[in-house]
Structure 1
Amino acid sequence: MLDKTFDPKTAEPRLYAAWEASGGFAPTDDPAAEPFSIVIPPPNVTGSLHIGHALNNTLQDVLIRFERMRGKAALWLPGTDHAGIATQMVVERQLAEAGNHSRRDLGREDFVAKVWEWKAKSGGTIVNQLKRLGASCDWSRERFTLDEGLSAAVRKVFVTLHKQKLIYRDKRLVNWDPQFQTAISDLEVEPREVDGFYWHFAYPLEDGSGEIVVATTRPETMLADTAVAVHPDDERYKALVGRAVRLPIVNRPIPIIADEYPDPEKGSGAVKITPAHDFNDFMVGKRHNLPVINIFDDFARINDNAPVEYRGLDRFVARKKVVEAFEALGLLREIEKTRHTVPHGDRSGVVVEPYLTDQWYVAADVLAKPAIKAIEDGDTVFVPKNWEKTYFEWMRNIQPWCVSRQLWWGHRIPAWYGPDGKAFVEETEAEAMRQAEEHYGRPTPLRQDEDVLDTWFSSGLWPFSTLGWPEKTDDLARFYPTHTLITGFDIIFFWVARMMMQGIHFTGEVPFKRIFINALVRDAEGKKMSKSKGNVMDPLELVDDYGADALRFTLTAMSGQARDIKLSRQRIEGYRNFGTKLWNATRFCQMNGCARAEGFDPVDVKVPLNRWIVGETARTAQAVTAALAECGFGEATELLYRFIWNQFCDWYVEFAKPLLTGDDETAKAETQATTAWALDVILKLLHPVMPFITEELWAQTADLGAPRAEAGFLMTARFPELASELIDPTADAEIALLIAAITEGRSVRQELNVPASAQPALLVVETSADQRRILTENAPLVARLLRVSELSFVDAVPEGAIPYVVEGATLALPVAEFIDLAAERARLSKEVTSLAADIDRTAKKLGNADFVVRAPEEVVEENRERLAEAQAAKAKLESALARLGVAA
């Protein structure tokens, strides 16, 4: 007999250990099994499980468990990312906190050894946390982006692209993090709104005949100005185009040029052009062949290209000094307060600088073309489809991809330089030395490029490098292309696009057939979670409090809600109660002798109630299978919840009680066997979403009657495939009438505040002959569940009775002796009036375009929800008034 309650704290670790030890997470060896593979978006080795991970990995696990149970060779390949800058930052911080040397003091080799040491000690944290969530990855195939096999793939790709002239070295602007002294990707740049100033500076014309005023938020960069630009159609400046100003402080003449970049309506209409320190200015400089002067060093200090008195100053100290100099020269025209967006490094938190450096670039525009066509042709599909637009917008406007990083932790760029700076790009140092000897005519010492590759470069190879490429492995042949990628919308540009480009280029096939974009998890009020707001929900804490199954079901159920998920503890608690409901129903069935019968076939059941639950089970199995196959996670959980809680636990179990305790032994035995069969199917259907409680119930009910068709773990049992012939329309109609009669009768009682203790008769006014038979045969059941004294057949609805219609039959509840009808009408009318006023206020607010645009997104959404709730409540009250004969 089952214990009274399910204890996740003891059951989950025990069950997971048993699953893992069984080898059941590995794909079947059956060569006839259809391959189905997904690769995990590799979490950072520095990471710990956050709520976004919990959502993403739950959906992956639901899908892989579902396909595994469908008999496919299901592979969920796990791994972690070395996460160059993030991991290096962690170890550098540890060194600083311990009072040890900096990485530069240690030297590259010793520092990297320290990082590996840290990775060995702490790098598996998130893997163990994923296991607590129930992730059924094939851990025997776990990969790390710096594994030797994956490193070989990285070198192969880099060298191949270089030989194809798709990787090259160039001097361009990058996002530069002065704290880490490295280029960073756009993804690693965090725009922050800050209070600042526009300083309006006057630049005197070189001939002394006047001045031109420019405005800037970064005065220090004027030391590197090489032009002033005005719009060609700006009449104010047409006569000045082609002339020059003398750059203050630097005392260098710079030209006034005409370009479409300046906005005549903004500021003075004239802008300073600093090609080395602004992305827009860099493009203007290229169009006009302007000099490019870099005035920063790697730490964002002023270098030797500036006047001597500024050299070595921090950029912000230099800023203050420049402003003071303009004021002293009488050239500071205005200081205007502003609030503007300033890029910051998401890891370091310091202001990022556009910085001119020599870097390695990938010709992403060339690689993007086949990746665009693959989506256009439907070789890979986005779910939801609207994310294609985001993908296309990025890919069709893609810029050269800077892949070099000035870090020590990562894939070292396979390029070696000779004494004259010539680069030899090869997979090994030995091959580079051989090429150098051939070039120079003698053995020549080489030095390897100091930089490492962008983390996205190696993770972009993830779908095929993890399967053994460039070797022609069995896994690669069997599982590539992978089937489904589940990931967040925030890395469509940076990871999904890279994988599409590199996968197609190096394998000739798309890396996955389907890309499912999951939602963003917000708090219960719709606000983005952040430590500063104090609204972060720790998934491990939630697992401790409610169990992994409850969190998994909540996230899966809510994943269909557009772009955002509003997560609350109340919702998770509700789904924990759902698990408890199933546990209690199973326990009830055990106590009432429900057991599998030898040779039981659901097609042969005779009792209408059993024919009905068999049909509902078949209908649910078909719908859940169709939903999960299409990544309809929210739809699948809605179907499961409604079927298990409402149809099975509530209606079927309640309706079955008289049969299980009655004298008809044939009906009793059939009901016991049908119940056991339905429970087995329920456990299979629910397992992908709630694996722990279902596996425990599967084991605890193994000895109920005849042996199951599938021995062993539920995890590897066959997902139900039930035929439509099990659905019986006649039984459906019979049970539907009973459910509707009880449900609608309960609504009447609730809406009109009929006391729970009151037991009026249920009047049957008008029915078909068949409906009359059904209600007569089930009169005791209806009376018990609706809490009425009896069923009575009458010719008309008497005064003081409330009629209601179900399935074409007219029934009525005489309630006048239990409630004051006039007082009830007054109460309902008052509540309707109050709700109408609330609806009007909220609708006017939402109809105000200014409110919708300016109010925080979560406030607007809250008002929309309030409006919908009030409208639904008003409709319900109006229905109750209508029952009382009052027009709302």
Structure 2
Amino acid sequence: MSADKHLHNALAGADLGQAYEAAKVEEHLYKWWEAAGYFKPTAANTKAPFVIAIPPPNVTGVLHTGHGLTNTIEDILTRWHRMLGQPTLWVPGTDHAGIATQNVVEKQLAKVGKTRHDLGREDFLDAVWEWKGRSHSTITNQIRRLGSSVDWQRERFTLDEGLSQAVVVAFKRLYDDGLIYRGTRLVNWCPRCLSAISDLEVVYRDEQEQGNLWHIRYKVANDANDTEWRISEGDQSITIATTRPETLLADVAVAVHPEDERYADLVGKFVVLPALGRQIPIIADTYVEREFGTGALKITPGHDPNDYIVGQRHNLPILNAMNLDATINSEGGSYAGLDRFEARKRLVADLTETGNLVETKPHLMKIGRCERCDTIIEPLISTQWFVKTQPLAEPAMAAVREGRTKIVPERFNKIYFHWMENIQDWCISRQLWWGHRIPVWYGPDNQMFVELNAADAMAAATAHYGQVVELRQDEDVLDTWFSSGLWPFSILGWPDVENPDFKQFYPTTLLETGYDILFFWVARMMMLGLYLTGKEPFEWVYLHGLVRDEHGRKMSKSLGNQVDPMDLIEQYGTDALRFTFATSSTPGQDFALQPTRLDSARSFANKIWNATRFVISKLGDLPRTAESKVDAERLNAQAYTVADRWILSRFNRLAGDVERLMNSFNLGEAGRQIQTFFWDEFADWYIETAKIQIDTGDEQQQLRTRETLYSVLEGTLRLLHPFMPFVSEAAWQKLHNSEQTTPTPAALIIAEYPLINAAMLNEQAERDWDLVQNIIRGVRNVRTETGVEAVKWIEALIAAGSATAMLTEQTAIISRLARIAPDKLLISESLSERPEQATTLVFAPAEVVLPLAGMVDLAAERERLNKELERVEADVERRRTKLANENFVAKAKPEVVQKEREALAAQELAATTLRERLASF
């Protein structure tokens, strides 16, 4: 379908005679924008480009509220920079998400009683690709529904051919430079996934069920040949505290603090390991906390990351007592073959029976579980591929420290530096089938050949062996974070540095993501980007907070409080969801997704629509082109009213504030200020005033009013567009397509974004109109307080002083909006006499006198006020008596007493107000 047809369908769905119906507009508008090519960066533009690479969602299912927030923020910035006239590129894409996607497919196979091994690697990968196709289609449709103006022609997937080439080039370059190595180290191991996993894929929770502190006695060996671990009378022992008794089977030492006098004579001796009878040394290390437990710890480098570090310091051996499925291996003696937790039960029972178990105490423990399958992870010694991160971390820290890359909010610099300064080598291999296969081939004698492809590996092997040999490729795949760490430049054609996209759009301008992956993704992109391209991958890092439920809780499957953003779009419309995301959030801060705010945002969309309907109905034959807009030259040359000059000044002041806020990434406040201006100032005040000016003004004033209405509405729709793209574009199109005149440009999405025109700021007009508003508000308040019917016209005398001429010009407006009878509104410099019974309002330099006789039945109102005063005074006396009671003050809760005092103060104020009202009679 042609772009014009999509626009026609969108406008047909946007009926100005009805309330705004998002569902009839959004899909057609998006298809029009996309078909017309508005999402592509403009060519032949001398301005610096603005480039964002989307944080690629995993192809594991559907988008969640976090993705909704991410897409909203990035689209706001993209649309804003596009309207500023910059070549703007937002690259979409998805991540293969190795372990997560593989688990999804494995769970589906499990439902029919199969495993991936039943299918074999090739058929299993076919099944995963099929899943990827379905999930990818769902995700891209959801990104479209969110209104994201991404360049779909540049869409990328982390297993695309080009990105896969970038991965092997990066691996080989890092390997050749000595920054990738194969080694045996302690890693996070998931016994269910049978793979090493990253720190990010480990979720820690405080759990009581798994948490106990067992105090176990280890017998001090009598001699070098002592293997008896049961303690007899007269034996010396040392008691250790452990949360994981099953790992005792891999203990290699007992550690105490070097300054702990309790154990000073034991350091250097040996203990006999319970259950196994193996001797291990007693060592001293400052890692031990003397106040925790017994002050003595078992050291198990093969099953604990902290023990691993202690073991490295003391050159201790590393034992592994577990198989990859977390059953006990042959190191466990009689416990071999048992599941780790079954072994725990048996071991605790055996130690209890022999008297080696001193006591068991409940202990709330932080348990690490696999994010994908919820299995408790096991620290295991494993041979894996690692990246040396310290040489990469130093330049990445320098880039932030020197301001070449800036983090928003700035307080996250401290966290970034802390992580990078304490960085450990990165385990990049995964025991999976889905992902980038490690580009390493092994010869018959396990000689490694690291090459870009199998052909290069064979050539290298043939040269090495002098003959053709059989090679086998490494079975493992790379950690997903390795390929996503290349994302900002691999999507632009790297390693081909002559690629036009790479030359024009790299480095990117901005990375926007959640603060929770600052280290796991952002830091790795910084390290790899600087090393492989020599440039920081982005100038800015914008970190948003987490979206929580309306009660402030983190959204999770276990709590059952997850919200599908597509459901919210169905209920409220995309603009309402986006505006809620934008105006609820501030950089780096979590926020609660409140239904009331969604309702309010939906009402705001309707307000925009209804205001547009009204303005269109009042524009008459005014051409809807740039020539009809009020500019500074026309404003100064023509007779525009105070209200006209006020709203134009306020609009330009708003444009300046929005530019400042957007440049500082304070998008939420920018959106809130636009909403406040549109609703409170333009719709509630200027539109109401414009009705009167058009009804009562002469032909020139009517024209000036129409020009102002058009200028401010059209400009405000431009300001709003990045935040609420659908309703603003639909309203803008209706504003122009209801006329035969074709607007330039033909789409709001590529219209020029409003910037402040300082020549149109008018402080005097703002002060004058502020006085008019105060008078109208004041009269309205008195009417409400005295119960005057809304339809009743009243009398008013205004002593205006130096504002007499200005207020006289506003007679029709004050009369209509305050419901003051035109023939009973007297405006003069001063009052020669005043009514005896009247209410006076003072708004310097003006004084407003409202004769009460013409507003209310004075006798009835006096009687009502006296009765109300009697009731309030009685309540005041009751509360004073209560607070004078020492027993009440002494025995009641402090908050109850304070509440009573606050209530008394409020009633005393009410009594004073009522007396003043009575005195005015």
- Under a length normalisation based on structure 2, what TM-score does the superposition of the two structures give? 0.88
C-alpha separation between the residues in 1 aligned to 2:292 and 2:761? Answer: 70
Name the counterpart of 1:435.
Answer: 460
Query: For 2:492, which of 446, 449, 467 is the aligned residue?
Result: 467
Name the counterpart of 1:651.
Answer: 685
Query: For 2:72, which of 55, 58, 83 is the aligned residue?
Result: 58
Q: Structure 1 residue 147 and structure 2 residue 160: aligned?
A: yes
Name the counterpart of 1:842.
Answer: none
Q: Structure 1 residue 806 and structure 2 residue 832: aligned?
A: no
Query: For 1:245, which of 268, 271, 279 is the aligned residue?
Result: 271
Aligned residues of 2:652 and 2:756 also touching (Cα < 8 A): yes
Aligned residues of 1:748 and 1:880 also touching (Cα < 8 A): no
C-alpha separation between the residues in 2 aligned to 1:278 and 1:295? Answer: 12
Aligned residues of 1:214 and 1:270 also touching (Cα < 8 A): yes
Name the counterpart of 2:815.
Answer: 783
Q: Give the residue type in structure 1 aligned to 2:123.
A: D
Q: Structure 1 residue 383 and structure 2 residue 383: aligned?
A: no
Matches within 5 A, 1:511-530: 511-530=537-556
User: 3-state SS of the aligned residue for 1:322?
Assistant: helix
User: 3-state SS of the aligned residue for 1:342?
Assistant: strand
Name the counterpart of 1:42.
Answer: 56
User: 3-state SS of the aligned residue for 1:445?
Assistant: coil
- Offset, 1:435: 2.3
C-alpha separation between the residues in 2 aligned to 1:621 and 1:50? Answer: 33
Aligned residues of 1:57 and 1:135 also touching (Cα < 8 A): yes
Name the counterpart of 2:106.
Answer: 92
Matches within 5 A, 1:746-825: 746-749=780-783, 756=790, 760-765=794-799, 767-769=800-802, 771-789=803-821, 790-792=824-826, 794=831, 801-813=838-850, 817=858, 818=861, 820-821=864-865
Q: Structure 1 residue 8 and structure 2 residue 42: aligned?
A: no
C-alpha separation between the residues in 2 aligned to 1:138 and 1:590? Answer: 34
Structure 1 residues 136-145 or 805-814, which shifts more? Answer: 805-814
Go from structure 1 to structure 2 and tell me whether the alpha carbon gap of 1:301 and 1:131 turns closer, same or farther (over 3 Å shift): same
Go from structure 1 to structure 2 and tell me whether the alpha carbon gap of 1:432 and 1:348 turns closer, same or farther (over 3 Å shift): same
- Offset, 1:346: 1.2
Structure 1 residues 385-394 or 489-498, which shifts more? Answer: 385-394
Q: Give the residue type in structure 2 aligned to 1:271.
A: L
Name the counterpart of 1:179.
Answer: 192
Aligned residues of 2:430 and 2:479 also touching (Cα < 8 A): yes
- Offset, 1:455: 0.7
C-alpha separation between the residues in 2 aligned to 1:650 and 1:535? Answer: 38
Q: Structure 1 residue 641 and structure 2 residue 670: aligned?
A: no
- Offset, 1:743: 2.6
Q: Structure 1 residue 682 and structure 2 residue 716: aligned?
A: yes
C-alpha separation between the residues in 2 aligned to 1:873 and 1:12? Answer: 54
Name the counterpart of 2:886.
Answer: none
- Offset, 1:214: 1.1
* C-alpha distance after superposition, 1:852-875 (max 9, x if no partner): xxxxxxxxxxx9xxx99x999999
Query: For 1:564, which of 590, 604, 621 is the aligned residue?
Result: 590
- Offset, 1:407: 0.9
User: 3-state SS of the aligned residue for 1:761?
Assistant: strand
RMSD: 2.9
C-alpha separation between the residues in 1 aligned to 2:613 and 2:732? Answer: 12
Q: Structure 1 residue 671 and structure 2 residue 686: aligned?
A: no
Go from structure 1 to structure 2 and tell me whether the alpha carbon gap of 1:107 and 1:699 turns closer, same or farther (over 3 Å shift): same
Q: Structure 1 residue 228 and structure 2 residue 261: aligned?
A: no
Q: Structure 1 residue 491 and structure 2 residue 538: aligned?
A: no
User: 3-state SS of the aligned residue for 2:150?
Assistant: coil
Quote the sequence identity (%). 46
- Offset, 1:167: 0.9
Query: For 1:312, which of 322, 330, 337 is the aligned residue?
Result: 337
Aligned residues of 2:268 and 2:283 also touching (Cα < 8 A): yes
* C-alpha distance after superposition, 1:601-627 (max 9, x if no partner): 513242222222222222222322332
Go from structure 1 to structure 2 and tell me whether the alpha carbon gap of 1:253 and 1:556 turns closer, same or farther (over 3 Å shift): same
Query: For 1:480, which of 506, 516, 530 is the aligned residue?
Result: 506
Aligned residues of 1:222 and 1:274 also touching (Cα < 8 A): yes
Structure 1 residues 877-886 or 85-94, which shifts more? Answer: 877-886
C-alpha separation between the residues in 1 aligned to 2:351 and 2:914? Answer: 82
Structure 1 residues 400-409 or 205-214, which shifts more? Answer: 205-214
Aligned residues of 1:595 and 1:675 also touching (Cα < 8 A): no
User: 3-state SS of the aligned residue for 1:701?
Assistant: helix
C-alpha separation between the residues in 1 aligned to 2:872 and 2:84? Answer: 53
Go from structure 1 to structure 2 and tell me whether the alpha carbon gap of 1:601 and 1:102 turns closer, same or farther (over 3 Å shift): closer
User: 3-state SS of the aligned residue for 1:344?
Assistant: strand
Query: For 1:628, which of 628, 653, 662 is the aligned residue?
Result: 662
Unaligned runs of 5+ in 1: 837-850, 852-862
Go from structure 1 to structure 2 and tell me whether the alpha carbon gap of 1:755 and 1:137 turns closer, same or farther (over 3 Å shift): same
Aligned residues of 1:752 and 1:880 also touching (Cα < 8 A): no
Name the counterpart of 1:118.
Answer: 131
Q: Structure 1 residue 457 and structure 2 residue 482: aligned?
A: yes
Go from structure 1 to structure 2 and tell me whether the alpha carbon gap of 1:748 and 1:268 turns closer, same or farther (over 3 Å shift): farther
Query: For 2:44, which of 13, 26, 30 is the aligned residue?
Result: 30
C-alpha separation between the residues in 1 aligned to 2:438 and 2:909? Answer: 72
Unaligned runs of 5+ in 2: 1-14, 223-233, 881-893
Aligned residues of 1:710 and 1:718 also touching (Cα < 8 A): no
Query: For 2:569, which of 539, 543, 554 is the aligned residue?
Result: 543
Name the counterpart of 1:129.
Answer: 142
Query: For 1:589, which of 588, 595, 615 is the aligned residue?
Result: 615
Structure 1 residues 58-67 or 119-128, which shifts more? Answer: 119-128
Go from structure 1 to structure 2 and tell me whether the alpha carbon gap of 1:419 and 1:329 turns closer, same or farther (over 3 Å shift): farther
Name the counterpart of 2:557.
Answer: 531
Go from structure 1 to structure 2 and tell me whether the alpha carbon gap of 1:872 and 1:677 turns closer, same or farther (over 3 Å shift): farther
- Offset, 1:166: 0.8
User: 3-state SS of the aligned residue for 1:592?
Assistant: helix
- Offset, 1:705: 5.1
Aligned residues of 1:54 and 1:133 also touching (Cα < 8 A): yes
Matches within 5 A, 1:304-343: 304-307=330-333, 309-343=334-368
Q: Give the residue type in structure 2 aligned to 1:50.
A: H
- Offset, 1:744: 3.8
C-alpha separation between the residues in 2 aligned to 1:387 and 1:835? Answer: 51
Q: Give the residue type in structure 2 aligned to 1:125.
A: T
Q: Give the residue type in structure 2 aligned to 1:234.
A: D
Q: Give the residue type in structure 1 aligned to 2:846.
A: A
Count matched residues: 853
Aligned residues of 1:51 and 1:521 also touching (Cα < 8 A): yes
User: 3-state SS of the aligned residue for 2:551?
Assistant: coil
C-alpha separation between the residues in 2 aligned to 1:830 and 1:748? Answer: 26
- Under a length normalisation based on structure 1, what TM-score does the superposition of the two structures give? 0.91
Matches within 5 A, 1:724-743: 724-743=758-777
* C-alpha distance after superposition, 1:94-153 (max 9, x if no partner): 111133x31122221221121112212332211111111101100110000010100110
* C-alpha distance after superposition, 1:21-66 (max 9, x if no partner): 1111111112424311101000001131211111111010011011
Name the counterpart of 1:856.
Answer: none
Query: For 1:197, which of 192, 212, 216 is the aligned residue?
Result: 212
- Offset, 1:481: 0.8
Aligned residues of 1:596 and 1:704 also touching (Cα < 8 A): no
Aligned residues of 1:802 and 1:883 also touching (Cα < 8 A): no
Matches within 5 A, 1:100-115: 101-115=114-128
- Offset, 1:786: 2.4
* C-alpha distance after superposition, 1:296-351 (max 9, x if no partner): 111001112220x2211111111111112212222111121222111111111111
C-alpha separation between the residues in 2 aligned to 1:441 and 1:375? Answer: 50
Go from structure 1 to structure 2 and tell me whether the alpha carbon gap of 1:394 and 1:802 turns closer, same or farther (over 3 Å shift): farther
Aligned residues of 1:344 and 1:350 also touching (Cα < 8 A): yes
Name the counterpart of 1:859.
Answer: none
Aligned residues of 1:825 and 1:884 also touching (Cα < 8 A): yes
Go from structure 1 to structure 2 and tell me whether the alpha carbon gap of 1:884 and 1:641 turns closer, same or farther (over 3 Å shift): farther
Name the counterpart of 1:358.
Answer: 383
Q: Give the residue type in structure 1 aligned to 2:125.
A: V
* C-alpha distance after superposition, 1:170-222 (max 9, x if no partner): 21111111000111111111112212322211111111731111122211110
Go from structure 1 to structure 2 and tell me whether the alpha carbon gap of 1:745 and 1:531 turns closer, same or farther (over 3 Å shift): farther
C-alpha separation between the residues in 2 aligned to 1:751 and 1:422? Answer: 92
C-alpha separation between the residues in 2 aligned to 1:830 and 1:495? Answer: 67
C-alpha separation between the residues in 1 aligned to 2:903 and 2:514? Answer: 33
Query: For 1:287, which of 313, 320, 325 is the aligned residue?
Result: 313
